[in-house]
């Protein structure tokens, strides 16, 4: 007989099932949480001090100079006079991705760039892969550009005091040297600027960008006097395969707008200024690249480039018959390429800052110095790594490795735009990609096409790099993820971002 006075007993409840491996790997970080955490690091916060002008200069500084001053000599033997077409193809490819970057930078204005965009749309594993590609893109880019800086420094020293740094100390192993000392020096100089603060670094970069634009305009004004119509004959000697191969290498020269997006947590009005800075800088850079490349191959037969790293200075000497102009251009190039090292190194530190804040890499990368508002330890670690890499690895291998990392990250950004449009259609967007999802799809396909144009050895290096990254993620990041510590009990269930933050606190 039942006890009529006893309270009804509720059926036993079972503990909610723990999220499976797949659900954990696909956990997404809410956009609101990304934005709310903006600027905050371990022990301090980044300072919002950058306006539209500074952001545009960061983007131009990270882009303009790399492909023209350094990689042009590598690309011309692959495409011939059609290297100008290679620049156009690389620029168009970058344009479609830049449109996607502009939309996401205005919607999710944070330091992580495409890493953070992927975290909000495609989940933690994809975000990690994207971030790991960015580490390759930025870190190797700094090293590659630093190698080219040493070539122009030798040109400058030869033209002024008649002395050059011996090959043993100015080239890496495999290129006839033992240790590239100039490459290490320029990285350490950039580190010193960055340690002073974002605003101070931006001021120095603005001066250097003005110098590099003036030097390229000067090159065109003098180089046009040496144009020979015969140099444009057999415009595409190696066919479209050569043009696309050169374009894939030159895509390394268009990562600047990505660097601007990493400044999202130090911009005064990122939602307004970041999209404008990205599009404005890409237009300026592409126009200058194509113009300078057209003058260069018109003034010098393409077969005579021979992988020269200081090609523009050599052309100035040949056209004028004087060493002064070539020496002047070399001096400008030394300043111009230093600005690329400065701004790209800045971007690398901010990517790792965001990843460290999320717990996917050690917290030391997210530590902010309270006086300068900069991630000091992060900057020193990254600078030493890039400097040693620049001193020990040849330029050509570095440039191609950077291109594949860049293209992979850009492809993911194009996907992220479409995903966020579908999952958060009502979110405020200060810039919208036109004709979506068609334009993002074109950007994705162009990135894949250019990746396919890279050499087998580049793909092998990329595969090894990704394998190392996955091992690091599953042994460290997967277990220490801050998002995992605050995730809902049931995988896949949405959680209010404000409640998630309160739970974490």
DSSP 12-41: PPPPPPPP-HHHHHT----HHHHHHTTTEE
- More reliable by pLDDT, 475 or 484: 475
- More reliable by pLDDT, 240 or 5: 240
Highest averaged pLDDT of the listed ranges 16-25, 57-66, 221-230, 445-454? 221-230
pLDDT of residue 70: 66
Residue 450: pLDDT over 60: yes
pLDDT of residue 500: 37
Q: Which residues contact 62 (CB under 8 A, 6 or more apart)?
A: 255, 256, 258, 259, 260, 340, 343, 344, 346, 347
pLDDT in tens, 172-193: 776 777 888 888 899 999 999 9
pLDDT in tens, 26-48: 889 888 888 888 777 777 788 88
pLDDT of residue 359: 92
CB contact at 8 A, 406 and 137: yes
Highest averaged pLDDT of the listed ranges 148-157, 367-376, 389-398, 486-495? 367-376
3-state SS, residue 44: strand
The gap from C-alpha 489 to its chain's centroid, in whole angstroms, comes to: 36
Residue 132: pLDDT over 50: yes
Residue 413: pLDDT over 80: yes
Task: Compute the average pLDDT of residues 411-424.
Answer: 93
Residue 396: pLDDT over 90: no
- In 161-269, which residue ranges form alpha helices assigned H by DSSP? 167-170, 181-195, 198-223, 239-250, 256-261
Task: Compute the average pLDDT of residues 7-26.
Answer: 60
Residue 419: pLDDT over 80: yes
Over the range 375-385, which residues count as b (16 or more CB within 10 Å of their CB) and which as e? bbbbbbbbbeb
- For residue 50, which phi and psi values (nearest 5 degrees)? -110, 130
pLDDT in tens, 318-368: 888 888 887 888 788 888 888 888 988 998 999 999 999 999 999 999 999
- More reliable by pLDDT, 363 or 505: 363
Chain mean pLDDT for the chain: 83
Q: How far apart are CA 255 and CA 406, in angstroms?
A: 7
Q: How far apart are CA 291 and CA 218, in angstroms?
A: 12
The gap from C-alpha 199 to its chain's centroid, in whole angstroms, comes to: 20
């Amino acid at each position: 007989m039942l006890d009529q006075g006893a309270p009804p007993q509720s059926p036993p409840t079972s503990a909610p099932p723990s999220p499976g491996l797949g659900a954990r790997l696909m956990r997404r970080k809410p956009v609101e949480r990304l934005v709310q955490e903006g600027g905050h690091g371990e022990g301090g916060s980044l300072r919002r001090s950058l306006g539209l002008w500074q952001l545009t200069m960061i983007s131009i500084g990270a882009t303009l100079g790399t492909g023209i001053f350094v990689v042009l000599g590598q690309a011309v033997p692959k495409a011939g006079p059609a290297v100008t077409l290679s620049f156009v193809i690389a620029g168009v490819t970058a344009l479609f991705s830049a449109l996607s970057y502009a939309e996401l930078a205005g919607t999710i204005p944070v330091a992580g760039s495409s890493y953070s965009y992927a975290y909000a749309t495609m989940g933690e594993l994809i975000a990690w892969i994207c971030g790991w590609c960015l580490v390759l893109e930025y870190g190797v880019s700094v090293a590659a550009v630093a190698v080219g800086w040493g070539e122009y420094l030798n040109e400058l020293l030869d033209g002024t005091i008649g002395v050059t740094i011996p090959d043993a100390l100015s080239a890496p192993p495999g290129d006839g040297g033992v240790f590239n000392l100039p490459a290490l020096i320029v990285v350490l100089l950039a580190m010193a600027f960055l340690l002073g603060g974002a605003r101070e670094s931006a001021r120095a970069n603005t001066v250097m960008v003005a110098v590099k634009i003036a030097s390229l305009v000067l090159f065109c004004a003098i180089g046009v006097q040496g144009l020979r119509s015969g140099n444009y004959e057999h415009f595409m000697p190696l066919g479209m395969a050569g043009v696309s191969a050169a374009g894939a290498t030159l895509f390394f020269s268009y990562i600047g707008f990505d660097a601007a997006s990493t400044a999202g947590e130090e911009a005064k009005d990122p939602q307004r200024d970041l999209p404008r800075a990205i599009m404005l800088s890409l237009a300026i850079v592409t126009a200058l690249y194509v113009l300078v490349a057209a003058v260069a191959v018109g003034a010098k037969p393409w077969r005579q480039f021979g992988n020269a790293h200081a090609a523009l200075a050599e052309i100035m000497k040949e056209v004028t018959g004087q060493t002064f102009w070539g020496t002047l251009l070399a001096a400008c190039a030394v300043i111009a390429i230093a600005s690329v090292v400065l701004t790209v190194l800045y971007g690398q530190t901010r990517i790792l800052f965001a990843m460290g804040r999320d717990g996917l890499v050690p917290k030391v990368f997210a530590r902010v110095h309270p006086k300068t508002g900069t991630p000091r330890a992060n900057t020193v670690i990254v600078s030493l790594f890039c400097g040693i890499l620049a001193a020990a690895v040849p330029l050509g291998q570095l440039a191609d490795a950077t291109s594949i990392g860049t293209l992979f990250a850009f492809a993911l950004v194009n996907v992220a735009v479409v995903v966020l449009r579908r999952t958060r259609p009502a979110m405020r967007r200060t810039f919208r990609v036109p004709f979506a999802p068609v334009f993002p799809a074109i950007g994705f396909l162009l990135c894949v096409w250019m990746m396919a144009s890279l050499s087998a050895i580049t793909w092998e290096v990329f595969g090894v790099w990704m394998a190392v990254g996955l091992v690091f993620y599953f042994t460290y990041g997967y277990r220490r993820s801050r998002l995992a510590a605050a995730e809902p009990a049931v995988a896949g269930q949405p959680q209010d971002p404000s409640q998630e933050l309160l739970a974490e606190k």
